[in-house]
Chains A and B, each alone.
Chain A
């Protein structure tokens, strides 16, 4: 076996597509069914943040009737399944990978269905497999139910009573809105966040991100790449009305905004008093983003095809935001942790990369020196789908299928180069090309 791809989501299938195009024998291992995470780890009402026309899987452009719509989860699963079928991906479903070990000429991959030797391995198991719940959760009294955005399905699943939603990225704002509309009192703990209108000058804001080149910023153009990688997903929701779901909209719906959850002490949740500043930071960042869109539109002669420039009022500051909430009083029956997810790399036996499993940035320069370190010191297979990769192209917290072809082509080119030209497995520093 030349190449083994771990994970049959859009990432693994895109890699498979490019491998097939180069006639490289490979197999795609999937722990469950094709598109497993989209089937099992999403709430019922979730739709992609990206409009359909942006869902460009290699060889499978969007050809449906609603280019400006946003796919529901069942439709995403259908799309990923169709992609697997169209590209005739050699997928083995219900085959979980339990470990990856180096051998002299590649890797030995242990699966729930026996061992497989492969010269190269592509890790496409996802960037968000495991909820990241902050340590403060340990102080939450047992009377309060705790649910993560991964386990949340719909309001009916939660007990009666108030809900404290922690985290104001796309997941947090969407779930807070759904819960308050279901008639529950909702408090939303807000740290640093990314505010975005759904549409700007008549176009989807992601059209602007795509067209203006924001997504093409190279990883080495960031002042602080770690921080860029930790950036929460923008406050966006995919609805037919293309409505904006920022914090002012949530206030309007009756959601109570409080500062970042800093601590739980004596059953009391304590919130940061710095709420106004996280509003200012987000408002200022949004203004700069819109300025850059306007500048791009003017410079590229696109002003005529879009509406006039718009500016949005600053985020509405609540009169006197609460900085504590007694979790023992019964006011809150559920805490919903919308605090993001992490990639789960517990399965390969790999050296723990720096920064909580996020790979270190590749040094500048197109060619890497030949890796002369002892094999044990070389990095393990690099994941294909951690944000932001070589360029910032991303589609919010949950990566939409199809934002990625270029990256996969690069990764596959690298595999080809390693296996054909040097005969060595793709394990040196060059796998970092893949993100």
Chain B
């Protein structure tokens, strides 16, 4: 198998060997590949809540991040809210940008492409008449999401475009946003 192009070396800080090794191991152990990601959220006041992330399940056992991270979620003043944090739908943009950027770095590493800078702008077109119930034909979520990458790397334009395309192909968040997902919400 061609892991890296021998004629090129790159150090983008991604441990591709470990990832490729994991891929091979998990092919034969699909149960270890089952992960559960978790966030817990607590209402504070108004439309402000805090959400924390610390533990998850994966590789057959409970795992935890190095530190517990807490996010403030609120709405902006134009929504008549105090703006103690970013809006929930903006978190989706954060997730998408983070996922695609990680993908670009990983694919570049695997292809021996040295990155110098990677910047992404993510824009979500949102008609808020949906969430306000002002028009039943308008959906609640994004109508369109646009990601623009500016990448400086030792590679041709075609190679950079291929990096971005491949990163979408292997992105969890891109898939979660572009394909339907079953969501169950219960009261315990």
Q: What 1/0 flags go to A268-299 for Cβ under 8 Å of B?
A: 00101110010011001001100000000000
Please report which residues of chain A, range 205-226, place their CB below 8 angstroms from some CB of chain B when the two chains form the complex.
223
Q: Closest approach, in angstroms, between the C-beta of A112 and any C-beta of chain B?
A: 40
Which residues of chain A come closer than 8 Å to B178, judged between CB atoms? 259, 272-274
Q: Does B144 belong to the interface (CB within 8 Å)? A: yes
Q: Does A265 belong to the interface (CB within 8 Å)? A: yes
Please report which residues of chain B, range 145-166, place their CB below 8 angstroms from some CB of chain A when the two chains form the complex.
158, 161-162, 164-166
Q: Is A274 in contact with B180, judged by CB distance below 8 angstroms? A: no
Which residues of chain B come closer than 8 Å to A287, judged between CB atoms? 158
Q: Is B180 in contact with A263, judged by CB distance below 8 angstroms? A: yes
Which residues of chain B come closer than 8 Å to A281, judged between CB atoms? 165-166, 169
Please report which residues of chain A, range 297-348, place their CB below 8 angstroms from some CB of chain B when the two chains form the complex.
320
Q: Does B2 belong to the interface (CB within 8 Å)? A: yes
Q: Is A277 in contact with B158, judged by CB distance below 8 angstroms? A: no
Q: Closest approach, in angstroms, between the C-beta of B184 and any C-beta of chain A?
A: 13
Q: Does A262 belong to the interface (CB within 8 Å)? A: yes
Q: Closest approach, in angstroms, between the C-beta of A270 and any C-beta of chain B?
A: 5
Q: Is B168 in contact with A274, judged by CB distance below 8 angstroms? A: yes
Query: Given A223, A273, A280, which contacts B177 in the complex, CB threshold below 8 Å?
Result: A273
Q: Closest approach, in angstroms, between the C-beta of B28 and any C-beta of chain A?
A: 10
Which residues of chain A come closer than 8 Å to B174, judged between CB atoms? 274, 277
Inter-chain CA distance A272–B181, complex, in Å, is 11
Inter-chain CA distance A284–B180, complex, in Å, is 27
If A259-B178, A263-B180, A277-B169 touch, whether A223 touches B162 (CB-CB below 8 Å) is no
Q: Is A265 in contact with B180, judged by CB distance below 8 angstroms? A: yes
Q: Closest approach, in angstroms, between the C-beta of B73 and any C-beta of chain A?
A: 24
Query: Given A274, A288, A320, which contacts B179 in the complex, CB threshold below 8 Å?
Result: A274
Chain B minimum-CB-distance residue to A291? B158
Query: Given B2, B144, B162, which contacts A284 in the complex, CB threshold below 8 Å?
Result: B162
Q: Closest approach, in angstroms, between the C-beta of B22 and any C-beta of chain A?
A: 15
Number of interface residues of B (CB under 8 A): 17
Q: Closest approach, in angstroms, between the C-beta of A292 and any C-beta of chain B?
A: 13
Please report which residues of chain A, range 85-100, place their CB below 8 angstroms from some CB of chain B when the two chains form the complex.
none
Q: Is B161 in contact with A272, judged by CB distance below 8 angstroms? A: no
Inter-chain CA distance A346–B158, complex, in Å, is 45
Inter-chain CA distance A265–B183, complex, in Å, is 13
If A262-B180, A265-B180 touch, whether A223 touches B1 (CB-CB below 8 Å) is yes
Q: Closest approach, in angstroms, between the C-beta of A298 and any C-beta of chain B?
A: 18
Which residues of chain B come closer than 8 Å to A274, judged between CB atoms? 168, 174-175, 178-179
Inter-chain CA distance A277–B165, complex, in Å, is 6
Q: Is B179 in contact with A272, judged by CB distance below 8 angstroms? A: yes
Chain B minimum-CB-distance residue to A320? B144
Chain A minimum-CB-distance residue to B145? A273
Q: Is A284 in contact with B179, judged by CB distance below 8 angstroms? A: no
With a 10 A CB-CB cut-off, give which of A223, A265, A273, A287 has the most chain B CB atoms: A273
Which residues of chain B come closer than 8 Å to A277, judged between CB atoms? 165, 168-169, 174
Inter-chain CA distance A263–B179, complex, in Å, is 8
Which residues of chain A come closer than 8 Å to B168, judged between CB atoms? 274, 277
Inter-chain CA distance A284–B155, complex, in Å, is 15
Inter-chain CA distance A262–B161, complex, in Å, is 25
Inter-chain CA distance A281–B24, complex, in Å, is 24
Which residues of chain B come closer than 8 Å to A270, judged between CB atoms? 179-180
Q: Closest approach, in angstroms, between the C-beta of B1 and any C-beta of chain A?
A: 6
Q: Is B177 in contact with A284, judged by CB distance below 8 angstroms? A: no
Q: Is A223 in contact with B2, judged by CB distance below 8 angstroms? A: yes
Please report which residues of chain A, range 35-85, place their CB below 8 angstroms from some CB of chain B when the two chains form the complex.
none
Q: Closest approach, in angstroms, between the C-beta of B20 and any C-beta of chain A?
A: 10
Q: Is B169 in contact with A284, judged by CB distance below 8 angstroms? A: no
Inter-chain CA distance A274–B147, complex, in Å, is 12
Inter-chain CA distance A284–B169, complex, in Å, is 13
Inter-chain CA distance A320–B146, complex, in Å, is 13
Q: Is B165 in contact with A280, judged by CB distance below 8 angstroms? A: yes
Q: Is A284 in contact with B161, judged by CB distance below 8 angstroms? A: yes
If A262-B179, A263-B180, A274-B179 touch, whether A284 touches B165 (CB-CB below 8 Å) is yes
What are 9 A-B interface contacts by the 8 Å CB criterion? A259-B178, A263-B180, A273-B178, A274-B174, A274-B179, A277-B165, A277-B169, A288-B158, A320-B144
The 9 closest A-B pairs by CB, nearest first: A273-B178, A274-B178, A277-B168, A280-B165, A262-B179, A270-B180, A263-B180, A281-B165, A284-B162
**Given A273-B177, A274-B178, 17 other A-B residues pairs in contact with their CB atoms under 8 A:** A223-B2, A262-B180, A263-B179, A265-B180, A273-B178, A273-B179, A274-B168, A274-B175, A277-B165, A280-B161, A280-B164, A280-B165, A281-B166, A284-B162, A287-B158, A288-B158, A320-B144
Question: Chain A interface (Cβ within 8 Å of chain B)?
Answer: 223, 259, 262-263, 265, 270, 272-274, 277, 280-281, 284, 287-288, 320
